[in-house]
Amino acid sequence: MAAINEVGDLTIEGEIGVLTLNSPPVNALSAPVRTAIADGIKQALDNPAVKAIVLICDGKTFIAGADITEFGKAPKGPSLFDAQAMIENASKPIVAAIHGTALGGGLEVALTCHYRVAVPSAKCGLPEVNLGLLPGAGGTQRLPRIVGPEKALDMMTSGAHVGAKACKEMGLVDELAEEGKLREGAIAFARKIVAEKRPLKKVRDLNDKVEAARGHPEIFATFRKANARKFRGFLAPEYNIQCIEAAVNLPFDEGIKVEQKLFRELVTGTQSAAQRYVFFAERQVWKLPDVPAETPTIPVNKVGVIGAGTMGGGISMNFLNAGIPVTIVETKQDALDRGIATIRKNYENTAKKGRMTQDDVEKRMSLLKGSLALEDLADSDLVIEAVFENMDIKKDVFGKLDRIVKQGAILATNTSALNIDEIATAVKRPEAVIGLHFFSPANVMKLLEVVRADKTSKPVIATSMQLAKKIGKIAALVGVCPGFVGNRILAQRQREAQKLILEGAMPWDVDRVLYDFGFPMGPFAMSDLAGLDIGWSKEKSKGETIRDQLCEMDRRGQKTGAGFYDYDENRNAKPSPVVEKIILDFAASKGVNRRAISDQEILERCLYPMVNEGAKILEEGKAQRASDIDIVWINGYGWPVYRGGPMFYGDTVGLDKVLASMTAFAAARGDDFKPSALLERLVVEGKGFREL
């Protein structure tokens, strides 16, 4: 074996040269990897004994793409294009041998090879779209030439990782090797190519499929229309589509020019910067500086859930889906029956949509036990309480759990607002108490806030994070404070939204601005969806707020056909003249002189206090890092991923600008806008949150 460099080796096996890359963790196309490819291929081509070349990777995967950390830095070593040109124009056949994932630039390298062999467990994909990019190494022109424009549209705009068998069916993979025997299989395949004198197949020369689509612009029009909602606000899906159009309508080299131009636009733009940042933030969030990876964890084989309402039921489903038995406890038989029936109905609905078999439904339901006695939770490894949000009730439940549940178990609360340190005073083992704040619907929403209290032990934290991963959540570790991270920041936006409609805007103005920013809906549409009467009581209501007045008129949101908006029978929202009058009368009664409010003011008033609150959270150490706050807002509150979360957004706007606006607002409107000390310090230092 001859080393090419620190990440590449060339071995000669009879007439086959095997170029092996080994650059953990994912063989990304860093400068040394590109060098190893270019130099390794050259050596193999120069060696007269070699008749064909296999390109293979060590470690857990084939090349998983360009090295994302290199974007924006000065280029080093041979370009990817140079390495690919050497492969594609080689005088000897080159076979890509794929295991793990051939993604992005990795698949683009494989597409310049003359043949591709993969093990059945391998997956191929062009996931650049999820980084706000498009495949910028010829993938947009080569993939449609192999799989056809329709499949390329699906793959490139979803970023899906497609299994090797499906790849074989669509011609992306030429042969499947036996699992675990990729090297032998690829070498045997290469020998066969040589023996049969098969041609050097260049994907760039395959034109049948793109030519067949030429003159059919409806392929693209239909696709755009069908996905308009999904792609709203994102640049990358549209740019990917335009590249495939170019592949269909232009010669290969012209298509590459379109790809290059659009790639450059994306890679230098703010959307991709945000999406790349989120990629790393999603991985960073699991790392806990003071809870090292080797912290012992508690085996969780049995879960107890208290409360069979919407939240308790949703929480239970997460564990059932992961094959962990759940005992759910209620106080009344009918509530228990209703809760269990709802879980079954949810599963049956999934089965009806074909996303689960009836057998899967029964398997999950067989893991679920209902009970009216807390004593049945005695041998649970984890108990999650999801009862009414009332401190006395919660403390009472925890006091009982302390007496009943075995030592060593985790005692968790799903509270979204109450002080977990206080809840922990109800037990003699506060180190076992933690907050697991699920978001509704708990079986669907990705976010889990793991709330560490003062005395929570490290094994309890480590286990909670590990469990979150097991049930498919993205978890952020946060500290105890009112509303924790997510709702605490939300409160800022809600307060300003309410003030804005008093001062001069209408709910639909505020909603439109935030919708156009990229949120799935604005705060008033969200209130209508959730129900205006959450936390409202008819008996106590004195018409003191606009919400009180709406609820008193039975305008309680979508469910009553009216709230901040009027709704038709299909739940389409229309601005409401009734609400407009209520707001105007209300403002008049408070002596407010309403004025025209610009969209820019709405945006800044709603968003900058969120950035500022995030800074306070960091100052107080209630979140570990700015990017964790962004993860919370992207996964729990629909912050558009292409804007990177509130903290990234603050950096993008410029913290000096945020501070200037906050200071001006504070002068005119008081302490709600008081800038945080951290924000002020960062501006003085000329830094952003990302440099913390």
Residues annotated as part of the active site: 108, 128
Q: Shortest approach of ligand 3H9 to residue 99 CB, angstroms?
A: 12
Q: How many other CB atoms sit within 10 Å of the CB of residue 337?
A: 13
Q: What is the DSSP letter of 216?
A: -
Q: How many other CB atoms sit within 10 Å of the CB of residue 91?
A: 6
Q: Shortest approach of ligand 3H9 to residue 485 CB, angstroms?
A: 21
Sequential DSSP letters for 18-78: EEEE--TTT--B-HHHHHHHHHHHHHHHH-TT--EEEEEE-TT-S--SB-GGGTTSPP-SS
Distance of CA 328 to the CA centre of its chain: 29
Residues 559 and 531 sit within 8 Å (Cβ to Cβ):
yes
Report the C-alpha gap between 504 and 180 in whole angstroms: 67
Residues 223 and 215 sit within 8 Å (Cβ to Cβ):
no
What stretches of 620-645 show up as alpha helix (H) in DSSP? 626-637
Q: Shortest approach of ligand 3H9 to residue 385 CB, angstroms?
A: 32
Task: Pick between residue 105 and residue 646 the one whose CB is nearest to ligand 3H9.
Answer: 105
Task: Pick between residue 137 and residue 190 the one whose CB is nearest to ligand 3H9.
Answer: 137
Distance of CA 527 to the CA centre of its chain: 24
Q: Shortest approach of ligand 3H9 to residue 156 CB, angstroms?
A: 10
What letters, b where the CB count within 10 A reaches 16 and e where it falls short, cover 379-396?
ebbbbbbbbeeeeeebbe
Task: Pick between residue 108 and residue 330 the one whose CB is nearest to ligand 3H9.
Answer: 108
- Which residues of the shown chain bind ligand 3H9 in the complex (CB under 6 A)? 25-26, 28, 61, 64-69, 80, 101, 103-105, 108, 127-128, 131, 133, 135-137, 139, 280, 283
Task: Pick between residue 128 and residue 509 the one whose CB is nearest to ligand 3H9.
Answer: 128
Q: How many helices (H) and strands (E) does the chain have?
A: 28, 20
Q: Shortest approach of ligand 3H9 to residue 274 CB, angstroms?
A: 15
Report, in angstroms and rounded to the nearest whole number, the Rg of the chain calculated over CA atoms: 29
Q: Shortest approach of ligand 3H9 to residue 171 CB, angstroms?
A: 21
Task: Pick between residue 131 and residue 241 the one whose CB is nearest to ligand 3H9.
Answer: 131
Q: Shortest approach of ligand 3H9 to residue 137 CB, angstroms?
A: 4
Report the C-alpha gap between 488 and 76 in whole angstroms: 45
Task: Pick between residue 161 and residue 369 the one whose CB is nearest to ligand 3H9.
Answer: 161
Q: How many other CB atoms sit within 10 Å of the CB of residue 424?
A: 24
Answer positive or negative: Cα dihedral of 206, 209, 212, 218.
negative
Q: For 458, what's the count of Cα atoms within 13 Å in the CB-facing half-sphere?
A: 9
Task: Pick between residue 122 and residue 424 the one whose CB is nearest to ligand 3H9.
Answer: 122
Distance of CA 634 to the CA centre of its chain: 7
Residues 247 and 270 sit within 8 Å (Cβ to Cβ):
no
